Amino acid sequence: MLKISHIANPQTSIGYNKKPEPMKRLTLSLLFALTSAISFGQSTIPVDSLYTFIKYNSIHRKTVDWAKIDKSFNEQIQSAKSLHDTMNCFVTVLKNLNDVHSQIYLNNKFYGHYPSFDDSVLVWLKPLNDKAILETNKIYSQNMAKGIGYIRIPAIQIYASEQINNCAQSLADSITKLSKKSKKGIIIDLRLNGGGNIYPMLSGLSQLLGNQTVGYETDINDSITRTWEIKNGNFYIGGYQTTDLKVKEIRNLTKIPIVVIIGPVTKSAGSMVAIAFKGRPNTYIIGEPTADGYTTSNGYFQFTSNLTLNFATNYVADRNKIIYKTTVNPELTINERDNFDNLLNDEKIRAAIKWLKEK
């Protein structure tokens, strides 16, 4: 089995995911013996190895009674009559783990446990989520009030090395340009960031973060497993350089005041960008808590040519080693009242401008 190292889930909507592109770095992972498999037409599901992997590698594995899950899974799998039935057995396991960030990708289809919401919540959450999908890969910046800049970083769904580098470079250049007229500070809006690839996000924001450690990954015992670092404009994860950025003009932006805005559809890589700014001097986080359950570090594990598991194996911690196991919470909570069509009438933007002016 191959592990395809990756930091974030390419989640693009509530309950739906696009196919993950292959990542560059491949590392050989632990092989599990196939003690049984179920075949449906051309598809063979290595049931035992997949279940065993989930049981012994899930970051949530200590939160459940495995004796009950084992019994339930065995009963359910024995009565499975179709491929769909079989995959639903694994979805039930993810549900028992309360794991919303892991998915099984089989034959061009995702299977996962997705959170449900009351109709009263969906009334305002779904339009926000739909807008987040629409804005994927569309970085937007503008000068707001005098001396204050604004940049919106949505989901970034790119995975080829050249695309990653180009996106990171474009974001870094935007920050450089924006900072020249933003002496009072910059607003980083992550409300429409549903995840994707964190590499271009953190590399592109490197001038604001500086050359230092900006986060960690931790295991089930809260021990550090990998370090996130910024070095010379590039994001390094566990010592691996993710981009090769050539910052055209190095500006000292590590002390410039920053407001980060987060919200309920900020998840996965979006949440992790917010975590990277936690503990940064002159930084204020406002908005609403990020989507619950998306602060895990995921890896892609390939079991067969048509079966891949995008799986949560670690939590993420900020530079001060504070671990985020559910959500990232703002320092100032402002519920709803978003206005992306007229930013100056957006209550969270107004609060951000007020804080920056007072700084």
251 pLDDT above the threshold of 90? no
CA distance 273 to 288: 15
CB under 8 Å to 164, separation ≥6 — which residues?
158, 197, 199, 200, 242, 243
pTM recorded for the entire structure: 0.88
Residue 4's pLDDT band (cuts 50, 70, 90): very low
Fold of 119-295+317-358: 2-enoyl-CoA Hydratase; Chain A, domain 1 (3.90.226)
Query: Scanning the structure block, which residue is given the tokens 């998915």?
Result: 103
CA distance 168 to 207: 12
Please give the average per-residue pLDDT across 111-121, as a whole number: 88
Helix and strand numbers (H, E) in the chain are 9, 21
Please give the average per-residue pLDDT across 68-95, as a whole number: 94
The pLDDT, as a whole number, for residue 121 is 84
The pLDDT, as a whole number, for residue 115 is 85
Domain ranges of the chain: 2-112, 119-295+317-358
Q: Quick one: tokens of 77?
A: 């799998």
9 pLDDT above the threshold of 70? no
CA of residue 280 relative to chain centroid, distance: 20
Element (H, E) at 176: helix 161-179
The pLDDT, as a whole number, for residue 34 is 35
241 pLDDT above the threshold of 90? yes
Side chain identity at 336, as an amino acid letter? Answer: E
Please give the average per-residue pLDDT across 65-81, as a whole number: 95
The pLDDT, as a whole number, for residue 356 is 97
Residue 45's pLDDT band (cuts 50, 70, 90): confident
pLDDT (tens digit per residue) in 223-238: 999 999 999 999 999 9
User: How many percent of the chain have pLDDT more than 70?
Assistant: 87
Please give the average per-residue pLDDT across 5-31, as a whole number: 36
Angle at 69 between CA 68 and CA 70, to 5 degrees: 90
257 pLDDT above the threshold of 70? yes
Please give the average per-residue pLDDT across 27-54, as a whole number: 63
The pLDDT, as a whole number, for residue 248 is 62
* Burial track 202-220 (b if 16+ CB lie within 10 A, e otherwise): bbbbbbbbeeebbbbbbee
206 pLDDT above the threshold of 90? yes
CB under 8 Å to 36, separation ≥6 — which residues?
46, 47, 48
239 pLDDT above the threshold of 50? yes
42 pLDDT above the threshold of 70? no
Element (H, E) at 235: strand 234-237
Q: With contact defined as beta carbons under 8 Å apart, do 293 and 99 qualify?
A: yes
